[in-house]
Chains A and B, each alone.
Chain A
């Protein structure tokens, strides 16, 4: 086995799990269900280790061979959870199993990476084709829609960076990716802009034509006029380019118009779906001091917790912010703040360093993978963990809006932890099989 197992990757994962377990042990201790939490977490570590070993030993190429079955299984568990799942805090995202609750969306995310990797591998020759991008999105769309249906907006969000990174690494056409990105940014950015404008009347004057932009937020005649104007503008631009004898094909303008029109329409749809608390999260990120007891409270308390930790931290089991309950969601989404408070700058930097090491090793596995499939799977995994780290830690540090994305390895949550360890096992297997002929 020498040279087969990436001990650095395994060590980094183990280190993160250890720090996370310590953080949860401390953060959850004042809670009444402390014993249950600790038991469940230790059970999850055990199960996760087993899955890690399974992933390590199980030939990853079988996932590719059985891709259809994997996809069918993914769809099946997502449909099942929507039908027979248990409601927890307004989300139908859980299976109630004999000893624990399982959140299938976590597993679905990993399985989606495997399925998309297979698809992109098959289309490696036609990676520049627009159908590659469309197809990848088409594969992911049902899963995303079902997760959105739970509803779990934050989890849905994590699919975008994974997909875009995988497409990017698969060598997809940059123009197509840009169009996709533009569409996505319109879809997500406009509702946020509308939220900001409607909650801060003063900004309507500050932003050029602010009041006018706000009129586009609903399916009424100003929106239709705007859509018609965009189509017309694209057409005129095309004619202009023809007259100027530039060699731009007409399809460019057609696609541009489609992206803008589609983006606007889906933005209006998303805007309708957005919940009040989701708007507040965003507003509180822009101006956290505006309502310290409202939506900005979490962010502020997390920063106080981290900042008060200092260089060495207050010591495990001694963080006042977390133990006295000032820090919300302390053992789940805000576990990094607990670590920052109790283990200080050194603890926080250790987490960042271990994560960097982890992703470095996954990227390395991608580089040395024997086939394109393994390469793409590693890219997808690296994208997910990198994105989670950035969003979660950035949220705790107050440089990213609050999104309910847990920090893999550290946050409490059995489904996430076991799936994550399983994924690391797969990455290990990809690394281990780098020289194998079969």
Chain B
């Protein structure tokens, strides 16, 4: 019995409908496989390939004698490569197991695991693993797919806390930073130079990371080796630094009274930095150690402040070098002119004191600078004039960045009549007196003072400080060697240079700088004690040294923050620097017969140190008092009467 025709029509309808449905499937197949093929091929490739990156060893950093101060060494890292099929549920267990082994917080681990899963990229869970942990982790590795141990080159600073402000340190990229750098080959777990040489020469030091392309399955297990690209190590940077001098400087600063300070040591012949110490310093290795708790590691506060370029201080008596240059070169006052120091000096109705309460008696220039007699320089300064001193201040490049190329350099602050005028204010004779002994509003950085003493040592050239000797590139380019660069020139007559150098030698031989007297060496310098309204005085010592008969080979500016008197606080630091530079054994500040008088003198100076600048109320107060007598702008009838003539006696 057969069905009627209507039923066949129904079957026919269904057949046509089915025909259309298969056609639809065919069209969809065409769309996926032919039209969108490229995109799906890419997705499939991304699915199956896992790239294990190999961090290229960062370039080495050498000192000038070839000693390695920063290198790379192999360490074990724990990485995680996410599999496609891994749910977030598995991660919690993994994070828990790892957190007990690594001592890291479970939440932070889980965060990085989730990041890896979202980005579908391998992450470092822990670096620099100790051997013991490594063996334990080897077990976890077999339980959880995707977890693997790899050997990587990691930064290492063999000397630890050494030139840390100059070398800088490495830090991890944050997400924003990574986005900006991802095109230049940085990964989310890359480390990047955060300061100092590591930051400045990041490009040269970095090298190119290698990668191993592996085929992985959905669980993240490695299946097959697909190919590799070897890393290229970073270029080496040779510094001008002398590790011996640097170490001596840091050690000396750390044993100074306040354990805070900076030492800038340059070669006066070309401006190369021989040592660049700032204390307190830090050990850049701490950022690379296996952190027990990353949140704590992130909060580690390091003394990143580089006193050598970012700390600004009044130069104190070291400024008398410039006052002397202004006076001697200006022919206004003869070096033989004698001034009587009674211990005090009056400008108008203001009394300025000498650091030596009982006074120095009659002083010519040579004695004045050797004894750092304030009264002598008050009077000389007034005679030379504020404008002249400011001109030389500028010539010696004070109040101006050296553009050494390190981050955070401060220009300091110039002080003088012109500067005052620029800000629409009046200049007074009291200010000139203050300026003459390096007080007042003048603020300089230790590296600027290194420039001043360098100019005296080499008779007039201020080289721009340089810390790079040579950069060797890893890609076959020739090495780069920067040339010495003149930053400024101080034009003084030759006899003035002779006098200045003689004066500074005298300071060491028979003056306040006895702490650095070293038999067999020519050492010259100047002490300084910068009055500080916020606390104890800052001690300065600027000096240069050389073998007798040779041009000076070293110029150093030492600052000991809140260290008290320059001769006693900063002097020993300078001594250690000079000794180490000339291969001498460290010794007591002054040996033999000379010891006693110098010690006594230092004690005396130290006792009067706070009063040395001669003003009880500090620079601010002094300026306020001195306002009673505007010097340059408004000559008053009373002016002649206020001349400090009575206590000045100038003998020809």
Residues in chain A within 8 A of chain B (CB atoms) = 30, 124, 165, 168-171, 293-294, 297, 301, 303-311, 320-321, 324-326, 328, 340, 344-345, 348-349, 352, 355-356, 359-360, 363, 366-367, 370-372, 375, 379, 382-383, 386, 389-390, 393-394, 397-399
Contact code string B217-239 (vs A, CB < 8 Å = 1, else 0): 11100010000000000000000
**Would you call B22 and A356 a contact (CB within 8 A)?**
yes
What residues of chain A lie closer than 8 Å to B624, measured between beta carbons? Answer: none
Q: Is the CB of A340 within 8 A of B33?
A: yes
Q: A169-B10, A372-B1, A382-B18 are known contacts; what are 10 more A-B pairs with Cβ within 8 Å? A: A171-B4, A293-B85, A293-B117, A297-B84, A311-B33, A311-B34, A311-B37, A326-B48, A344-B33, A359-B15
Which 3 A-B residue pairings sit nearest by Cβ, starting from the closest? Answer: A307-B40, A308-B44, A325-B218
In chain B, positions 1-36 with a C-beta closer than 8 Å to chain A are: 1-4, 6-8, 10-11, 14-15, 18-19, 21-22, 24-26, 28-30, 32-34, 36
Contact of A352 among B7, B25, B36, B43 (CB under 8 A): B25
Q: How many Å from the CB of A19 to the closest CB on chain B?
A: 15
Bound-state Cα–Cα, A352 to B30, Å: 12
> Complex: how many Å from CA A356 to CA B219?
38
The residue from A165, A325, A390 contacting B14, defined by CB atoms under 8 A apart: A165
Q: Is the CB of B2 within 8 A of A372?
A: yes
Report chain B residues within 8 Å CB of A352.
22, 25-26, 29
CB within 8 Å for A324 and B41 given contacts A306-B33, A310-B33, A348-B33 = no
Interface centre among B1, B4, B30 (most CB of A within 10 A): B1
- Do B2 and A306 touch across chains, with their CB atoms under 8 A apart? no
Chain B residues, CB < 8 A from A349: 26, 29
B442 to chain A, nearest CB (A): 66
A348 x B29 contact (CB < 8 A):
yes
Contact present for B47 and A320 (CB under 8 Å): yes
**Bound state CA distance, A171 and B37, in angstroms?**
45
| B218 adjacent to A168 (CB under 8 Å) | no
Query: B85–A297 contact, CB under 8 A?
Result: yes
Instruction: Find B47's partner among A324, A348, A355, A356 (CB 8 Å cutoff).
Output: A324
- The residue of chain A having its C-beta at the shortest distance from the C-beta of B11 within the complex is A169
Q: Assess the B25–A394 pair: CB atoms within 8 A.
A: yes
- The yes or no answer to B216 lying at the interface (CB within 8 A) is yes
B interface residues, how many (CB within 8 angstroms): 46
Residue numbers in B under 8 Å from A310 (CB-CB): 33-34, 37, 41
Write out, one digit per residue, whether chain B residues 288-303 have a CB within 8 A of any chain A CB (1) or not (0): 0000000000000000
B29 touches A326 (CB 8 A): no
What is the bound-complex CA distance between A355 and B48, given in angstroms? 32
Question: In the assembly, what is the distance between CA of A393 and CA of B88, in Å?
Answer: 30
Smallest CB–CB gap between A179 and chain B, Å?
A: 18
Separation of A14 and B39 alpha carbons in the complex (Å): 34
Q: B267 at the A/B interface (Cβ < 8 Å)?
A: no
Interface membership of chain B positions 72-92, coded 1 if the CB is closer than 8 angstroms to chain A and 0 otherwise: 000000000000111110000
The smallest C-beta distance from B91 to any residue of chain A, in angstroms, reads 11
**A-B pair number, CB within 8 angstroms:** 148
State whether A321 touches B47 (Cβ < 8 A): yes
Nearest chain B CB to A313's CB is how many angstroms away?
Answer: 9
Query: Which residues of chain B come closer than 8 Å to A165, judged between CB atoms?
Result: 14
Establish whether residues A308 and B43, one from each chain, have CB atoms under 8 Å apart when the complex forms.
yes
Q: What are 5 A-B contacts with C-beta separation under 8 Å?
A: A306-B33, A325-B85, A345-B29, A345-B33, A371-B2
Contact call A308/B40, Cβ cutoff below 8 A: yes
Closest B residue to A313 by CB, please name it.
B33
- Contacts A308-B40, A397-B28 given; does A325 touch B217 at CB 8 Å: yes
Query: Is there an interface contact between A375 and B44, defined as CB atoms closer than 8 Å?
Result: no
Choose among B2, B14, B33, B44 the residue that contacts A320 (Cβ–Cβ < 8 A): B44
Closest to A400 in B: B25
**A170 contacts B218, CB within 8 Å?**
no
Q: A306-B32, A324-B217 are in contact. Are A367 and B11 (CB under 8 A)?
A: yes
In the assembled complex, B215 has its CB within 8 A of some CB on chain A: yes
B25 and A359 form a contact (CB under 8 A): no
A397's partner among B25, B84, B117, B217 (CB-CB below 8 A) is B25
Chain B positions within 8 Å of A294 at CB level? 87
Bound CA span A328–B22, Å: 24
* Complex interface: chain A residues within 8 A of B29 (CB): 306, 340, 345, 348-349, 352, 397
Q: Are B28 and A399 in contact (CB under 8 A)?
A: yes
Chain A nearest CB: distance from B18 CB in Å?
5
A306/B87 in contact, CB under 8 A:
no
A171→B32 contact, CB < 8 A: no
Q: How far apart are B89's CB and chain A's nearest CB, in angstroms?
A: 10
Cβ distance A12 to chain B, nearest Cβ, rounded Å: 13
Given A169-B10, A367-B11: A307 touches B1 (CB 8 Å cut-off)? no
Which of B10, B45, B216 is A171 in contact with, Cβ under 8 Å?
B10
A389 touches B22 (CB 8 A): yes
B47, A304: Cβ atoms closer than 8 Å: yes
Which partner residue on chain B sits nearest A341 by CB separation?
Answer: B44
